[in-house]
Amino acid sequence: MITEIDLREVLARSVGAPLSDLVTRSTGAKVRSSIEAELSGRPAGAGVVLDFSSVRVLDCSCADEVVAKLVLGRGVAPGAGQWFVIRGLGEGQAEEIDHVLRRRRLAMVAEERDGHARLLGEVEPSAEAAWRVVGELGNAGAEEVATVLRLALAEARQALQAAADAGVVRQADDRFLPLTAA
Amino acid sequence: MTYVIDVPQVFDERSFDQFAAGFAGVEGDARVLVDAHAAEWASPAGLIGLLCAGQALLARAGVKPLLTAPAEREVAHYWARAGFFTHAADLFEIHGAVPRVRPNPERSVLLEVTPVTGADDVHAVVSRIQERSAAILTSELGLDPKATMGFGMALSEACQNIVEHAGTGGWVAVQTYSWRSLGRRVVVIAVADAGVGFRHTLEATQGKRFGDRWGDATALEAALIQGVSRFRDPGRGQGLAGIRRYLDRWHGKISIRSGTARIALVPSWEKDEPLRDGLPPFPGAQVQLVVPAVEREAP
């Protein structure tokens, strides 16, 4: 089950005006609260696509308040346990989000316009490598990751778990799946 | 007795200290005349610096200081078109002819002098720049369309500095004009307030760390170079970092003056001192961002 959230719509709803620019920290806090309210009560393990296609300007403060804090609250906020994918980012917007996530040592998957997935933010190199393998294979377990990355099985398990903990892949029993907006 | 503060003939970032020295000489709640009659040109930083002085003097003395408008008709008209007198009337008792002009006829004024007191103002400013000036930024200045999006981000973060830290309102103005040392047009964002300034804002969380070295200059270094903020949340303090990244990419310049110090990140096309201390004190913070037009190849 995937919920799509159009950030421009949430912005308009949150501030009561038809705005296109996600700017200022206080606006970001309102937008995040609206999203959290929308996600509360949804089951853990469900997916959320944050769609930025209609957003014009995104500043760092708002990016931190909306995206980084949503990711940060993944384990504790309303809607905890859900996974997030971001879509429709312009190049500058992707950079802003990448920086705010790195500052908090967080990561997120962004789906680019051509459908390719891209990691924003910071994860351990082994977790990033595991994320890549999961994406390339469509799903993977520790054995496949160990083979592709030439790691010991225990190291591959650790890498996959780190990727899952960082919220860039999801786990289904002993398999790991890529996060996709589709 | 009336104390006179002379407005420099060319009032911009470089002559600002001359004006600040005059401002610093005001004693107590003396009646003050800000004399701009001989002014020939003022940059956006100069215009909103005047408003900050007016705001501080009014708050201090409880009566409006006097302001003589530029005697030169063209100069006064330009100031009017830039939106200066609209706000100056609230802060100064203005003497001399104040032209009445239609709003927004000037293409070089991308954003008239605009007050910033809350998040709504920041939204309005960013929206206006994106809707009205994005085309000018790309067609006339040759800025990459990606640069105009980042421009909105930088503008927003600069304005939020007032909302989040100043403790009072401030102003923003955006203009485009030719930058002499560069020989090209530039876009200039000037944001200023007469609030508490960087040192006061950061003192509670950073003062101890710097010990005896703590002052206006170290506060500016901490904010601009190290990206520290008054909040303990690691996600804070990203605004200036975002502005820096944007200016780095487009070879722009940032300078911030606060209290008795001024810091600048100076691109290769400009000569300026990176850090100056011991300047005449001036309230609040004055931020200037300069983004140069793309160099066009000769035909």
Residues A158 and A117 in one domain: no
Which residue in the set A23, A58, A100 is minimally distant from B123, CB to CB? A23
Residues A64 and A87 in one domain: yes
Q: Residues of A25-49 as b/e, b for ≥16 C-beta within 10 angstroms? A: bbbbbbbbebbbebbeebeeeebbb
pLDDT in tens, B153-192: 999 999 998 887 767 889 999 998 888 888 888 999 999 9
From A144's Cα to the closest Cα of chain B, the distance in A is 37
Residue B105 has pLDDT above 60, yes or no: no
Segment B222-226 mean pLDDT:
93
A19/B127 CB distance under 8 A: yes
Residues A73 and A159 in one domain: no
In sequence order, what DSSP letters do the residues of chain A get, joined into one string? Answer: -EEEEEHHHHHHHHHTS----B-SHHHHHHHHHHHHHHHTTSPTT-EEEEE-TT---B-HHHHIIIIIHHHHGGGTSTTTT-EEEEE---HHHHHHHHHHHHHTT-EEEEE-TTS-EEEEE---HHHHHHHHHHHHHSSB-HHHHHHHHT--HHHHHHHHHHHHHTTSEEEETTEEEE----
Residues A157 and A105 in one domain: no
Confidence of residue B69 (pLDDT cuts 50, 70, 90): very high
For residues A109 and A119, is the Cβ–Cβ distance under 8 A?
yes
Residues A154 and A105 in one domain: no
Segment B82-104 mean pLDDT:
89
Average pLDDT, chain B: 90
For chain A, percent helix, then strand, then coil, each to nearest 5? 50, 20, 30
Residues A16 and A70 in one domain: yes
Q: Is B180 helix (H, G, I), strand (E, B) or coil?
A: coil
Residues A101 and A146 in one domain: no
Segment A125-130 mean pLDDT:
97
Residue at a domain's end among A82, A104, A121: A121
Residues A42 and A79 in one domain: yes
Amino acid identity of residue A97, one-letter, is I
Please state the domain count of chain A: 2
Expressed as residue numbers, the domain containing A168 is: 125-178
Q: Is B127 helix (H, G, I), strand (E, B) or coil?
A: helix
Residue B144 has pLDDT above 80, yes or no: no
Residues A99 and A80 in one domain: yes
Domains of chain B: 1-96 (3.30.750.24), 109-299 (3.30.565.10)
Tell me, yes or no, if A27 comes closer than 8 A to chain B by beta carbon. yes
Residue A74 has pLDDT above 90, yes or no: no
Residues A117 and A129 in one domain: no
Q: What percent of chain A has pLDDT over 70?
A: 96
Backbone angles phi, psi at A118, to 5 degrees: -140, 140
pLDDT in tens, B11-67: 999 999 999 999 999 988 789 999 999 999 999 999 999 999 999 999 999 999 999
Backbone angles phi, psi at B225, to 5 degrees: -90, -45
Residue at a domain's end among A121, A155, A170: A121
Residue A20 has pLDDT above 90, yes or no: yes
Confidence of residue A78 (pLDDT cuts 50, 70, 90): very low
Contact list in B for residue A104 (CB cut-off 8 A) is 234-235
Residue B221 has pLDDT above 90, yes or no: yes
* Tally of CB atoms within 10 A around B137: 23
Segment A25-48 mean pLDDT:
90
Residue at a domain's end among A76, A103, A121: A121
Residues A143 and A80 in one domain: no
| ipTM of this complex | 0.86
| CATH of residue A30 | 3.30.750
| CATH of residue A169 | 1.10.10.10
For residues B187 and B110, is the Cβ–Cβ distance under 8 A?
yes
**Helices A25-39, B119-128: inter-axial angle, 10-degree rounding:** 100
When scoring B125, B129, B151, B153 by the number of chain A Cβ atoms within 10 A, the one with the most, hence best to mutate, is: B153
Residues A78 and A148 in one domain: no
Predicted TM-score (pTM) of this structure: 0.90
